[in-house]
């Protein structure tokens, strides 16, 4: 388990070896960390890979924390699916588009990402 310190640097928070990544084993791990570090209650965001057991365990032990997926793992999963589903000549282009979407700025309701001129340019682009 890696935590971010007050300076924004990652620090080793706990090192735990489990037999498997089931909900109960991850939950037990988090409860033991919590018992020895009350600051776990202040955790605002948890970044994980796509493991559903982790999601369920975090919801049980830290219901106040927001769960986000790790960008590296998201892009890795996207690339794997693109290699299976997209023709070889289009794979790089599709991955580039997905990569751009992952890093896109989240817009509020009613906000527009491009001007009309930029939108027309994108619409007419040769893909």
Q: Are residues 29 and 8 part of one domain? A: yes
Is the Cα dihedral 106, 108, 110, 111 positive or negative? Answer: negative
Do 52 and 91 belong to one domain?
no
Any idea of the CA torsion for 17, 23, 29, 34, to the nearest 10 degrees?
Answer: 160
Domain end marker among 32, 53, 69 = 69
Question: In this structure, what DSSP letter does residue 103 have?
Answer: T
Say how many C-beta atoms besides its own lie within 10 A of residue 54's C-beta: 19
- Structure confidence at residue 1 (pLDDT): 80
Is there a single domain that holds both residue 12 and residue 55?
Answer: yes
Specify the number of domains making up the chain: 2
What pTM did the predictor assign?
A: 0.65
Is the CB of residue 92 less than 8 Å from the CB of residue 84? no
- One digit per residue, the tens of pLDDT, for the chain of length 127 reads 888 777 888 888 888 787 788 999 999 989 999 998 888 888 888 888 878 899 999 999 999 999 988 888 888 988 999 999 999 999 999 999 888 888 776 666 556 555 555 555 544 544 3
Do residues 81 and 43 share a domain? no
92 and 77 belong to one structural domain: yes
Q: Which of 49, 69, 89 lies at the terminal end of a domain, its last residue?
A: 69
Instruction: Judge if 38 and 12 occupy the same domain.
Output: yes
CB 67 within 8 A of CB 55: yes
Is there a single domain that holds both residue 78 and residue 55?
no
Domain identity same for 93 and 117: yes
Where in the sequence is the domain holding 12, given as residue range(s)?
2-69
Bridge-partner residues for 47, per DSSP? 68
């Amino acid at each position: 388990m890696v935590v971010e310190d007050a300076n924004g640097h990652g620090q080793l928070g706990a090192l735990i070896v489990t037999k498997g990544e089931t909900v109960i084993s991850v939950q037990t791990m988090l409860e033991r960390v919590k018992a020895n570090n009350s600051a776990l209650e202040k955790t605002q965001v948890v970044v994980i890979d796509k493991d559903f057991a982790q999601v369920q365990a975090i919801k049980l032990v830290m219901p106040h924390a927001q769960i986000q997926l790790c960008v590296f793992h998201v892009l890795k999963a996207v690339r794997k699916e693109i290699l299976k589903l997209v023709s070889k000549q289009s794979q790089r282009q599709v991955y580039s588009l997905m990569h751009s979407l992952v890093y896109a700025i989240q817009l509020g309701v009613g906000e527009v990402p491009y001007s009309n001129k930029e939108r027309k340019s994108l619409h007419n682009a040769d893909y």
